[in-house]
Amino acid sequence: MELSIAQPDDWHLHLRDGELLEAVVSHSAKQFGRAIIMPNLRPPVTTTAAAVAYRDSILKSLQGNTDFTPLMTLYLTDKTSPDEIKLARESGVVYGVKLYPAGATTNSQDGVTDLFGKCLPVLEEMVNQEMPLLVHGEVTDPEIDIFDRERVFIDRILKPLIQKLPKLKVVMEHVTTMDAVKFVESCEEGCVAATVTPQHLLLNRNSLFQGGLQPHNYCLPVLKRETHRQAIVAAVTSGNKRFFLGTDSAPHDRLRKECACGCAGVYNSPVALSIYAKVFEEAGALDKLEAFTSFNGPDFYGLPRNTRKITLKKTPWKVPESYSYASGSIVPMSAGESLEWLPYLPS
């Protein structure tokens, strides 16, 4: 059995830099036509000049062997200026601005502390420039239970933001709860959308602890209850145009995951399309897979759909236990397991 679809794009991808970048970029480039590249490096990508330089590094690491196009983003801080948003739009390489609440996830210490105060002029300029705001939707208040942080963020931040700036294009990244699904579905189509990861479609929070602590399933936002997973699956397999593919693939060296204080992030680029196909097949919705992977994202961003095709062949293949690089190794999602759908680009 084979399934041919328009080549997908990844609307939420971490490529890191240096040796990690060189180790992982080909896994995305072999399958995806474009990817929104997240800016939480050290130091973060806060200016258009830095975004252009980072893009050059990505393209250099590909050595001209692919048609993969990185779509760059800026890291929003309390000091970002409206003029920087104008420069970003004029550059032709920046396609969004990422909101990390300070302390919410990996390398978010430089994130926003005062969205409705210091950042309001920037948000207003983003409306003028039709520049999407890409949101890590969690509050960081230590008094809020980690499993409730997305729901509280919606009530405290997102709802007031949409009311204040109804024309701002917003992507709620890596949604994990029934609350997020309902919120996105309640918003005007074309203004608010959401990306969904393979891990949040396939796994629930039991997957963090089955057979012992599973550090390679640990990500932020953290995996949630089975009822939330089912709500997300129902949303994406319904054909709703507000939801589209965003892997949030986040590579870390094995030693930084398997340690006393492990990093958050699931490295799923090598298996993402296989897992999305599995989820849609189990839901009886393979006919809706192409829209989720290949149409809804570019339509929301106002970009052309890919014309190249990719084929998903139903043939068992085993996921490698790890991927080695010069300084160590990276453990992928579903390491050592057998998956049923194998994607490849026809020559």
Residue 30 annotated to the active site: no
Query: Is the model's pTM score more than 0.85?
Result: yes
Residue 252 annotated to the active site: no
Residue 200 annotated to the active site: no
Residue in 9, 10, 110, 248 annotated catalytic? 248
pLDDT at 180: 98
Residues of the chain with pLDDT under 70: 107, 347
Distance in angstroms (rounded) separating the CA atoms of residues 30 and 259:
31
Residue in 27, 174, 228, 257 annotated catalytic? 174
Q: How far is CA 181 from CA 91, 149, 230, 235, 334, in A?
A: 33, 15, 11, 7, 25
Residue in 10, 12, 224, 257 annotated catalytic? 12
Q: Coil, helix or strand for 37?
A: strand
* Residue type at position 111: G
Find the Cα–Cα–Cα–Cα dihedral 258, 196, 19, 264, rounded to 10°. Answer: -30
Find the Cα–Cα–Cα–Cα dihedral 132, 136, 139, 144, rounded to 10°. Answer: 150
| pLDDT digits 0-9 by tens, 130-140 | 999 999 999 99
* Residue type at position 323: Y
* C-beta separation of 304 from 298 below 8 A: yes
Name the residue with tokens 């931040």. Answer: 157
| pLDDT digits 0-9 by tens, 286-345 | 999 999 999 999 999 999 999 999 999 999 999 999 999 999 999 999 999 999 999 998
Residue 27 annotated to the active site: no
Residue 14 annotated to the active site: yes
Residue in 27, 136, 216, 257 annotated catalytic? 136
Q: Give the closest residue to 150 by CA, choosing from 199, 196, 198, 104.
A: 104
Residue in 98, 228, 257, 278 annotated catalytic? 98
